[in-house]
Structure formats: C-alpha cells, structure tokens
Amino acid sequence: MSAKKNAADGSRAAVDSSISTEGLDPKRRRLLVGGMSAVGGLGAGALGVSMLASMSPSARAKAAGAPVEADISKLAPGQLLTVEWRGKPVWIVRRTEQALASLNSVADQLSDPDSVEEQQPAYAQNATRAVKDEYLVVIGICTHLGCSPTYRPELAAPDLGSDWEGGFFCPCHGSKFDMAGRVYSGVPAPTNLEIPPYMYMDDNRILIGEDQGAAA
C-alpha cells in the first residue's frame, strides 16, 4: 500500500509541477505564462463573439415577422419588385395608367371585385387594393394550394386569351388574378391574393409588416 501511495503522490507532484511556474527558469516561465494568457484571450474573444451574435436579430425573430423595408425609388412603371417577409414573397408592382384603367373593365369577370373577403387591411379595401393607387403591395402566393403565380402584365397573351388585361397567372392549376390581385371567377383559387400590412416611410420607401406605427 505504501508503495502505491508513494507512486500516486509522485504522479500528483509531477502534474502539479507541470502547471506551476515556481522553480522554472525565466525563459520557461515566460513561455508558460504567455501560453496561458493566449488561451485566456481566446476564451474572452469567443465570449465577445457570442455576445455580439446574441445581439443580432435571430433567424427565428425574422421568420416571426420582423418588418422589411423596400426601396421603390428605381421601380419603373410596369415593373415588379420582390422582397421577402415572414418567409413569403411580397410583390411591389408599380402600375401603369393602362393597368389602373383595366381594374374597372375586368370587374364583372372577378369572383370578389369589391374585396369583401378579409384578404387585406381595411385601408386597402378599395378599388385598387392599395394605399397609393400606383403601387400594389401583395403577397405572391396563390390562395389555392400555395404555389407562386407569375407576373403577366402583357395584354391579350396568347395562352391567357384575347381579353387578358394583365395580372398574375398561377401555372400550377390555372388560377388568374387581375392587376389588383383579385381572383377571376371559375378558377381553383377561392379568394383574392393577400395584401400584407404596410406603410410608406417616405416617397421612396415602404415598410412591410407594419402599419400606422404599430408592428403587425
């Protein structure tokens, strides 16, 4: 037993001596202390990175609906801009005068021309489904089975008919929507495209996901 105890004590002494700087020559002591300081510095650096990461918006917070800003300053008439909000595509279309005029001419072909179904905020329950007539802000997901329609602004498209006035077409099952995102009658989609909450920050910027100063 005494021999085993002495051996164990010797092992502990060897370990202790490996982490102690006493009795070491100055060069070895500086090397050991410098190494320990470097390890401590790495730990502090990792902690700093962790703290910075925790201060950034998490992917979960963004997915939950953090507002998204869209710059429309370079959007020309007829063009469409896509931004992502809550993991969904949101389309911003700058409508032409012709596109706005078509909203009345196709009304009798639509399932819900007056936007009676609550697919939009109250401030977008109007003829253009918009805060400003020129700009349509709409979620680009078909209300049938969740496909993403295509933007088809051209008139009388051969595959959509001579009476086509421009709008959105879902190639998955053939649903059609006009330039206000209102659904045509007799197609699989049951309701108009959804209008998200949004507000104008100024003439060139739209904040999607927030309106009237309150987060949606």
Nearest to residue 110, comparing CAs of 189, 197, 172, 195? 189
Q: Which residue type does 178 have? A: D
Q: Among positive and negative, which fits the CA dihedral 76, 80, 82, 88?
A: positive
Cα four-point dihedral sign 133, 134, 140, 145: positive
- Cβ-based neighbours of 209, under 8 Å, separated by 6 or more: 65, 66, 67, 68, 85, 86, 196, 197, 198, 215, 216
State the CB neighbour count (10 A cutoff) for residue 47. Answer: 10
The answer to whether the beta carbons of residues 68 and 83 sit under 8 Å apart is yes
Please identify every residue annotated as catalytic. 173
Q: What are phi and psi of 74, to 5 degrees?
A: -110, 10
Nearest alpha-carbon partner for 147 in 110, 174, 166, 167:
174
* Strand ranges inside the chain, DSSP E: 68-71, 80-85, 88-94, 135-139, 150-152, 167-169, 176-177, 198-202, 205-208, 210-211, 214-215
